[in-house]
Structure 1
Amino acid sequence: MKVTELIKQSEGRRLEFKAKLPAVSDIAKTIVAFANDAGGELFIGIRDEPRELVGIKEDSLIRLEEQISNIIHEHCYPVIIPDISVHTIEGAYLIRVQVYRGSNLPYFLKEKGKTKGTYIRVGSTNRLADSEIIAELERQKRNISFDSEPVHEIVLKDLNIEPFKLFYKEKAGDELNSGSLKKLDLIREYHGNWLAVNALVLFSDSPVREQIFPYAKIECARFKGTTSHEFIDKKTITGNISVQPEIAYEFILRHINKGAAVKGVYTESRWEYPVIAIREVIRNAVVHRDYSLVGKDIKVAVYDDMVEITSPGKLMPSIDFSQMEARQSDIRNRIIAPVFKKLGIIDQWGNGLKLISDEMKAYPEIEFRWQETGLQFQVQFVRREIQQQQELQQNLDVLWQQVSTKLGLSWHQVGTKLAPSWHQVEKLLDFCSGPRYMKEIMSELGWKDRTKFRKKYINPLLETGIIYMTDPEDVKNPKQQYYISEKGKLLLIGIQTNI
């Protein structure tokens, strides 16, 4: 992406702006966090809030470049080699520090050490990594996944995988014996003994699974309205992970509607939400969640206005949801994912996002949203109509307050020469659907005193942006006319609804 486009983006996982060179520790934390995560870019010479191109003095550029390079060299470990460049935008000089994801994880502040100096990127902030995250970074360095690690506390013969064996036989058509367990890397030899790996424990139905992974579950809820204050229904799915996606999917189907849609000369049944995309998101949540994060479960929530799925773990570094059409693939759980593929739960690598994108095209009334919230990834399927109604009401509430304050209005008030009413405001706005002269508006509302009318009606409505002038540059233009704004149209709808 070009620099001119980048600097218009919001701060986030891969992007940060600073008006001037930050403190040594702050810049070092950002560089370390970028290297531990998906890489990123730091721009110096841009204020973030409010966004402003402040620039850097030309005679300071070389000194600042050297200073940044020295800070990274002296305070970050292992070695991080950034790309530092100078750019000119609208006559202002900027410094761009580009950091790539490192291969020698974890990176940390030298003076703090690995335990107290490892930082990761969470949204637009740098967060100190705890022992679990540091362990995950070290696994990534060794190119191994958490689900492939052996569990020493369990004797393999005591692990109940019979239900999983039956399910595997039904879906994959193969027997799950010691040979296939080895081939699938679900068991691993350690000092002459065969041990189950974390993935096999997650596929089991033994009580020990809930002891080791009590959070490997899906919490489902149907809430009343658009907030999480009141449950209508809820379900906790604690079975082995191979059956969890379908149960969660069925929960959603129970709480959304299926109607009829006309297609050509035929009438077809159609869910109110894109259920194929929803099913894919749930499956991905189970397959790609971070099982190393303690105390975090998958959450499926159905509201009046949306379906929401939240999964523990950030997006893998190479995945970009804004490029859903591209066939992207980056596997966190390298043992679980191939098993799910054999079970037919997931399709070919990289097809999931494309499948979601394709179905969303058939649902223009549904907005697909995604975000990283802390160490979780959240997807929402939002009904635009209800969201727009809520936003409309919120905007109306603000307008009520603004206009009521300016004009001294209340709903029970009868309009007089001293105090206007909402009925009179409605009449004025409706009359000004097209440009009107002051004398026309006064005549419509039965006023003769031009000065008082301007003071009580016109000026307050202009100040709140409810009406506009045809010639705002010349307020005293004798041909000046007034017309309703988009904000005014919104207010008019609200008045008519309430009246």
Structure 2
Amino acid sequence: MSLKDIIKQPEGRRLEFKEAIPTKAELEKTIVAFSNDAGGVLYIGVRDEPREVVGIPEGDLIKLEEQVSNIIHDNCYPIIIPNISSVVFDDKFLLKVEIYRGNNLPYYLKASGKTQGTYMRVGSSNRLASPEIIAELERQKRNISFDSELIYEKAFSDIDITNLLAFYKEKTGEVLDENSLKKLNLIVPHQDNLKATHALVLFSNDPLRESMFQNANVDCARFKGTTRHEFIDKKTIETNIALQAEAAYNFVLKHINKGAAVKGIYTKDRWEYPVIAIREVIRNAIVHRDYSLTGKNIKVAIYDDMIEITSPGRLSPTIDFNELEAGQSDVRNKVIAPVFRKLGVIDQWGNGLKLISEELKDYPEIDFKWMEIGLQFQVQFIKKNYIAPKEDKGFGFLVDEYGLDINEIEKDLGERSLVILKMMSENSKITSSELAEVIEVAEITIKRDIKELTDKKYLDRTGSKKTGDWLIINQKQD
């Protein structure tokens, strides 16, 4: 990329602009953050907002280079060796400070120490690294992964892996015996015993998985419209990670349309979205997510105008989604990934990104976007020509299908009751807590509304309290 094109780029994970040399504290944090992440380049002599090349006086270049070099040498640890050079753009001089990803992780500010001085690049800002991130950097230095770490809470022989054994046999035709578990590093000899790794627990249905990895799940949701204000259906996939990809993919297929498309002289069925590409993104999210990060599940969100998949953990520094056909392959989870290869979910040649690229060529009406949001990686499949329907309350079908007098209900019980009826018509198993979450009122308020709807013969309940269904009473049949 030419310098002219670089200067047009927004600041981000690998790029920063400064009009003049930043403060010592700002410079230290940027250099440390670049070293801990994918590396990066700082251009001095470029105003960011509005973007303008202001340059540096030629006579100040050597002095400025020495000043930057000394700050980095004196204040960053372990030693960081920058590549500092001057470049010319439109007859103006810039100082280019290039930092490479370091091998002696983590890097931090000497004065602050490791726990308070380690910074990571998040978007275009430098953020203090959490203990989880520092631990991950130390694992990267030792070339080990979180999923390969050992479990001491429970003996390997006491962990329930019956579902994994059956699934492995079904997919590979092989028996996953003790020797196979060792070869796959799912169990590791340790002090005359066999210890399970984090990966084995994630593949298991043992209660230990739920207690140790409460966020190793996939949240799926179909929202009404183009926002998250109202959902039609939702599901949290809490099974072991071997089964999650298929379950999430099936949820997507359930909520998108399939129609007929003419190709040549033949008519073929065609999904409204590139489902192979979506399948590969879901698989990659599960295989390559950062399982050391707590508090976030993978999220698969379906809107009227797009499908959005978000995975905890940033994209590996060596992977570029702008080069989908390059056959890129990198592994965050060094134990999990080989197991998925054996199961046939991924291959070792980076063909997943190629499959995404190839199918997108057949969907010119779909825009493919990816971005890093904090410590998460997000992919979007967006309908370019989406036209939003005319805005209305969406209650007309309650009249058409059930013969309800919506004006009377709104006057007597309020619009919230109409919203409840509408959501129950779309999801008969919806709970009062889920209704409260979406409508953003207290659950006791929802329960009172439901009681009024039931008492006034608009609503009934069939089946048990836990697993039953809501039934809107059809007034046409009265």
TM bin (shorter chain)? 0.7 to 0.9
How many percent identity over aligned positions?
65
- The aligned counterpart of 1:320 is 320
Please give the alpha-carbon distance, in whole angstroms, between the structure 2 residues aligned to 1:188 and 1:325: 36
Instruction: Give yes or no for the alignment of 1:299 onto 2:299.
Output: yes
Alpha-carbon deviation of 1:296?
Answer: 1.3
Alpha-carbon deviation of 1:157?
Answer: 1.5
Letter of the structure 1 residue corresponding to residue 220 of structure 2: C
- The aligned counterpart of 2:215 is 215
CA displacement 1:253-284 (0-9 Å, x = unmatched): 00000000001111100000000000000000
**Secondary structure at 1:176 match in 2:** coil
Alpha-carbon deviation of 1:2?
Answer: 2.9
- The aligned counterpart of 1:346 is 346
Please give the alpha-carbon distance, in whole angstroms, between the structure 1 residues aligned to 2:85 and 2:312: 36
TM-score by length of 1: 0.77
Alpha-carbon deviation of 1:30?
Answer: 0.4
CA contact (8 A) 2:146 2:291 kept: yes
| Structure with larger Rg | 1
- The aligned counterpart of 2:270 is 270
Alpha-carbon deviation of 1:349?
Answer: 2.7
Instruction: Give yes or no for the alignment of 1:9 onto 2:9.
Output: yes
- The aligned counterpart of 2:394 is none
Give the aligned length.
Answer: 389
- The aligned counterpart of 2:115 is 115
Alpha-carbon deviation of 1:301?
Answer: 0.3
Please give the alpha-carbon distance, in whole angstroms, between the structure 2 residues aligned to 1:31 and 1:37: 10
**Secondary structure at 1:11 match in 2:** coil
Alpha-carbon deviation of 1:331?
Answer: 0.3
- The aligned counterpart of 2:97 is 97
More divergent stretch after superposition (318-327 vs 215-224): 318-327
Please give the alpha-carbon distance, in whole angstroms, between the structure 2 residues aligned to 1:132 and 1:98: 27
- The aligned counterpart of 1:141 is 141
- The aligned counterpart of 2:438 is none
- The aligned counterpart of 1:437 is none
Please give the alpha-carbon distance, in whole angstroms, between the structure 1 residues aligned to 2:143 and 2:205: 29
Instruction: Give yes or no for the alignment of 1:362 onto 2:362.
Output: yes
CA displacement 1:198-217 (0-9 Å, x = unmatched): 00000000111100001000
CA contact (8 A) 2:119 2:129 kept: yes
- The aligned counterpart of 2:164 is 164
Alpha-carbon deviation of 1:3?
Answer: 2.2
Instruction: Give yes or no for the alignment of 1:29 onto 2:16.
Output: no
**Secondary structure at 2:221 match in 1:** strand
Alpha-carbon deviation of 1:308?
Answer: 0.5
Please give the alpha-carbon distance, in whole angstroms, between the structure 1 residues aligned to 2:233 and 2:137: 38
- The aligned counterpart of 1:106 is 106
Please give the alpha-carbon distance, in whole angstroms, between the structure 2 residues aligned to 1:154 and 1:50: 58
Letter of the structure 2 residue corresponding to residue 151 of structure 1: I
Please give the alpha-carbon distance, in whole angstroms, between the structure 2 residues aligned to 1:173 and 1:291: 28
Please give the alpha-carbon distance, in whole angstroms, between the structure 1 residues aligned to 2:344 and 2:356: 17
Please give the alpha-carbon distance, in whole angstroms, between the structure 2 residues aligned to 1:31 and 1:323: 27
Please give the alpha-carbon distance, in whole angstroms, between the structure 1 residues aligned to 2:131 and 2:225: 39
Please give the alpha-carbon distance, in whole angstroms, between the structure 1 residues aligned to 2:348 and 2:319: 16
Please give the alpha-carbon distance, in whole angstroms, between the structure 1 residues aligned to 2:102 and 2:272: 44
**Unmatched segments (≥5 aa) in structure 2:** 392-478
- The aligned counterpart of 1:74 is 74
Please give the alpha-carbon distance, in whole angstroms, between the structure 2 residues aligned to 1:68 and 1:98: 11
- The aligned counterpart of 1:423 is none
Letter of the structure 2 residue corresponding to residue 126 of structure 1: N
Measured on the aligned residues, the alpha-carbon RMSD in Å equals 1.0
**Secondary structure at 1:242 match in 2:** helix
Q: For residues 92-491 of structure 1, what are the structure 2 equivalents within 5 Å?
A: 92-386=92-386, 389=387
Please give the alpha-carbon distance, in whole angstroms, between the structure 1 residues aligned to 2:159 and 2:264: 55
Please give the alpha-carbon distance, in whole angstroms, between the structure 1 residues aligned to 2:207 and 2:269: 42
CA displacement 1:50-83 (0-9 Å, x = unmatched): 1011111111111100000000001110000010
Please give the alpha-carbon distance, in whole angstroms, between the structure 1 residues aligned to 2:209 and 2:350: 30
Alpha-carbon deviation of 1:6?
Answer: 1.4
Please give the alpha-carbon distance, in whole angstroms, between the structure 2 residues aligned to 1:47 and 1:297: 39
Task: Could you list the structure 1 runs, at least 4 aligned residues long, displaced by more than 6 angstroms after superposition.
Answer: none
Please give the alpha-carbon distance, in whole angstroms, between the structure 2 residues aligned to 1:379 and 1:63: 44
CA displacement 1:313-359 (0-9 Å, x = unmatched): 00011011111111111100010000000001112331111110111
CA contact (8 A) 2:29 2:109 kept: yes
**Secondary structure at 2:270 match in 1:** strand
Letter of the structure 2 residue corresponding to residue 160 of structure 1: D
**Secondary structure at 2:135 match in 1:** helix
Letter of the structure 1 residue corresponding to residue 179 of structure 2: G
Please give the alpha-carbon distance, in whole angstroms, between the structure 2 residues aligned to 1:172 and 1:109: 50
TM-score by length of 2: 0.80
Letter of the structure 2 residue corresponding to residue 290 of structure 1: D
Please give the alpha-carbon distance, in whole angstroms, between the structure 1 residues aligned to 2:210 and 2:295: 12
**Secondary structure at 1:325 match in 2:** helix
More divergent stretch after superposition (55-64 vs 219-228): 55-64
CA contact (8 A) 2:329 2:348 kept: no
Please give the alpha-carbon distance, in whole angstroms, between the structure 1 residues aligned to 2:166 and 2:76: 52
Letter of the structure 1 residue corresponding to residue 229 of structure 2: H
Letter of the structure 2 residue corresponding to residue 320 of structure 1: D
**Secondary structure at 1:385 match in 2:** coil
- The aligned counterpart of 2:57 is 57
- The aligned counterpart of 1:462 is none
**Unmatched segments (≥5 aa) in structure 1:** 394-499
Alpha-carbon deviation of 1:45?
Answer: 0.4
CA displacement 1:79-113 (0-9 Å, x = unmatched): 00010010110011100000000000000000000
Letter of the structure 2 residue corresponding to residue 96 of structure 1: K
**Secondary structure at 2:242 match in 1:** coil
Alpha-carbon deviation of 1:125?
Answer: 0.7
**Secondary structure at 2:67 match in 1:** helix
Alpha-carbon deviation of 1:4?
Answer: 2.5
More divergent stretch after superposition (235-244 vs 342-351): 342-351
- The aligned counterpart of 2:399 is none
Alpha-carbon deviation of 1:145?
Answer: 0.4
- The aligned counterpart of 2:453 is none
